[in-house]
Amino acid sequence: MARYGMVIDTRKCVGCMDCVVACQTENSVPQGYCRDWITTEVRGEFPSLTMEIRSERCNHCDNPPCVSCCPTGASHVEPDGRFVHVTASRCIGCKACIASCPYGARFVHPDGYVDKCTFCAHRVRQGQDPACVSVCPTRCMYFGDLDDPQSKVSELLRTRRWHVLLPDAGTKPRVYYLS
Amino acid sequence: MLEITTTRHNPLIDPQLHVWGWEIPLYLFVGGVVAGMMVIAGLAMLRTAKGEDTARFFSVQTPLLAFVLLNVGMLALLLDLAHPLYVWAVYLTFEPASPMSWGSWVLLLVYAILLVSALVRLHEAWPWLGRTLPAVERWSDAITRSPARLALLGWMNVVFGVAVGIYTGILLNTMVARPLWNTSVLPVLFLVSGVSAGAAAMHLASRFFGRRPAPQGLVAGFLSALAQPLGPQPPEKSTVDTLIRADVALLALELVLLALLVLGMLTSTASHAAAAALVLGGPYTLAFWGAIVVAGILVPILLQSLELSRRIPHTVLPALLVLAGGYVLRWVMVNAGQASEIVQAAAR
């Protein structure tokens, strides 16, 4: 069984937000909401500054706090690909998963259930990349099986320096940022 | 310098998490009061089962008042849900890793325990019930006349009262993403504060309603039964004194736990220290120190000590302050907790 992950090269990303718009279109994300977004991090003192631009989303963690806190099992891990998903018809909207997510990846859909990035499982299961990855004009995003040593994502994580978001939270996120 | 900007703008998430409004603090507060009343009523039942005459102390109206409050709390919980019509989905499964799943099932048991505890001897305070449903009177007698059965009911009240009190804290405590909640002191603090508020609620109800003659009939009889949590007769002075004495001890313990909470935050990781800053100079400073510590704990300790030593007359003021402080404690913890987050390290 695959264990999908995403690798994003922050040295190539220009923050154009194409990934954000592609996601909103592909997944009919309601207006005023977003499942992925751009974070810009500036460090240093002028004029010695360094900037990292990241396309952020649900990290589909290996140890997801949003899944363990869910009282109905609506928040769950899909056995194929280890996607962290929400079953809308079982979600009561208690919002515990939103409070438990250190990344702010979840929100309440206007229809009354919790929504977030699905890693475009519906596309991945048909052999396609997630919408955000497929439209990136700088080709800075990579998607693949982390358990497959031959995959592009595994190769990048072997050969490049990378970091994940808030590793101390112990969530074991699966979106990696090359730096 | 570390400057982070984001294009994310999701309602209830940005610029700061605020998914839980007034409903969850109210539910946590009411849950704490119910937990406290269950513990106190359960202890009284155990003493009754041993043969002590505590009829005027516990009677059955304490569980009845707790039962009504529990319904208020569960209504608040329901109103908080984004999809309240799906609430039954909680009872289609048991998720052992989810505190909320444990709490939902415990609430169901507590609902049954409080209902049975409330019905026991209710017909004495509410004659209409005994006349209309003689079966209730028979079941009640079957429990109250058997010390073993009454003791079992007492133990269930104590054990599940403690479980509910602790659960209201664990619900928040298990979330790694919110440093202010992520401390083991929180469940104990909520339990102690809940028992103290439960004692205050019983004290308050006894002062307001205890001395009225009990009306008969359907509605008036029920309301009067509800309004006499210490028994059909006015409570004895020693009974009220016992409640006040217990409340002072619990408030002092709560003070220690609050100090441990802040101290533990300050001496932990940068994220925890930042969470402590929310009540140490941050936006929740006045509510925390003014409303919870001074008005909700120190002033009631002082007033109740003076009452116990007969230097000032009994009033309902300390009980009101304790209850208000108990609510503000939940309000501050829920709101400041949502404002706390894991902070990133900066070079300087």
pLDDT, tens only, A15-49: 999 999 999 999 999 999 999 999 999 999 999 99
Average pLDDT for residues B29-37, to the nearest whole number? 96
User: How confident is the model over B95-131, as pLDDT tens digits?
Assistant: 999 999 999 999 999 999 999 998 887 777 777 888 8
The secondary structure of chain B, three-state, reads CEEEEECCCCCCCCCCCCCCCCHHHHHHHHHHHHHHHHHHHHHHHHHHHCCCCCCCCCCCHHHHHHHHHHHHHHHHHHHHCCCHHHHHHHHHCCCCCCHHHHHHHHHHHHHHHHHHHHHCCHHHHCHHHHHHCHHHHHHHHHHHCCHHHHHHHHHHHHHHHHHHHHHHHHHHHCCCCCCCCCCCHHHHHHHHHHHHHHHHHHHHHHHHHCCCCCCCCCHHHHHHHHCCCCCCCCCCHHHHHHHHHHHHHHHHHHHHHHHHHHHHHHCCCHHHHHHHHCCCCCCCHHHHHHHHHHHHHHHHHHHHHHHHCCCCCCCCHHHHHHHHHHHHHHHHHHHHHHHCCCCCCCCC
User: How confident is the model over B70-97, as pLDDT tens digits?
Assistant: 999 999 999 999 999 999 999 999 999 9
Q: What is the pLDDT of residue B159?
A: 98
Higher pLDDT, B190 or B345: B190
B345 occurs within a structural domain:
no
B95 to A72: CB separation less than 8 angstroms, yes or no = yes
User: How confident is the model over B302-333, as pLDDT tens digits?
Assistant: 999 999 898 888 888 999 999 999 999 999 99
Overall number of domains in chain B: 1
Does A30 contact chain B (CB < 8 Å)? no
B263 occurs within a structural domain:
yes
List the single residue in B8, B12, B100 with the smallest CB-CB distance to A37. Answer: B8
A95 to B1: CB separation less than 8 angstroms, yes or no = no
List the single residue in B17, B82, B101 with the smallest CB-CB distance to A112. Answer: B82
B126 occurs within a structural domain:
yes
pTM for this prediction: 0.92
B178 occurs within a structural domain:
yes
User: How confident is the model over A61-72, as pLDDT tens digits?
Assistant: 999 999 999 999
B2 occurs within a structural domain:
no
Domains in chain A, start-ordered, CATH in brackets? Answer: 4-178 (3.30.70.20)
Residue B257 pLDDT grade (very low, low, confident, very high; cuts 50, 70, 90): very high
Kindly identify which residue of chain B lies nearest to residue A103, measuring between CA atoms.
B177
To the nearest whole angstrom, how far is the Cα of A113 from the nearest Cα of chain B?
Answer: 7
Percent with pLDDT over 90 in chain B: 64
Does B154 score more than 80 pLDDT? yes
B344 occurs within a structural domain:
no
ipTM of the complex in this document: 0.93
To the nearest whole angstrom, how far is the Cα of B66 from the nearest Cα of chain A?
Answer: 24
Percent with pLDDT over 70 in chain A: 100
Contacts of B346 in chain A (CB under 8 A): 43
Contacts of B8 in chain A (CB under 8 A): 34, 37, 39, 56, 104
Residue B347 pLDDT grade (very low, low, confident, very high; cuts 50, 70, 90): low
Interface of A with B in 60-119 (CB under 8 A): 65, 67-74, 89-96, 98-102, 104, 106-108, 112-114
**Of B131, B164, B157, whose CA–CA distance to B143 is shortest?**
B157
Q: What is the pLDDT of residue A25?
A: 97
Contacts of B7 in chain A (CB under 8 A): 17, 20, 34, 37-39
List the single residue in B13, B90, B342 with the smallest CB-CB distance to A107. Answer: B13
Kindly identify which residue of chain A lies nearest to residue B18, measuring between CA atoms.
A99
Q: Give the position of tokens 């690798």.
A: A7
Give exposure, A90-115, as e/b (b: 16+ Cβ within 10 Å): bbbbbbbbbbbbbbbbbbbbeebbbb
Q: What is the pLDDT of residue B231?
A: 47
Kindly identify which residue of chain B lies nearest to residue A49, measuring between CA atoms.
B1
To the nearest whole angstrom, how far is the Cα of A149 from the nearest Cα of chain B?
Answer: 31
Question: From its phi and psi, is residue A52 left (phi > 0), alpha (psi between -120 and 50) or beta?
Answer: beta
Q: Per mean pLDDT, which range of A40-49, B16-25, B141-150, B293-302 is the poorest?
A: B141-150
Structural domain of B91:
23-339
Q: What is the pLDDT of residue B314?
A: 81
CATH number at residue B175: 1.20.1630.10
Higher pLDDT, A178 or B63: A178
To the nearest whole angstrom, how far is the Cα of B199 from the nearest Cα of chain A?
Answer: 30
To the nearest whole angstrom, how far is the Cα of B172 from the nearest Cα of chain A?
Answer: 9
Higher pLDDT, B232 or A14: A14
B41 occurs within a structural domain:
yes
B48 occurs within a structural domain:
yes
Identity at B239, one-letter amino acid code: T
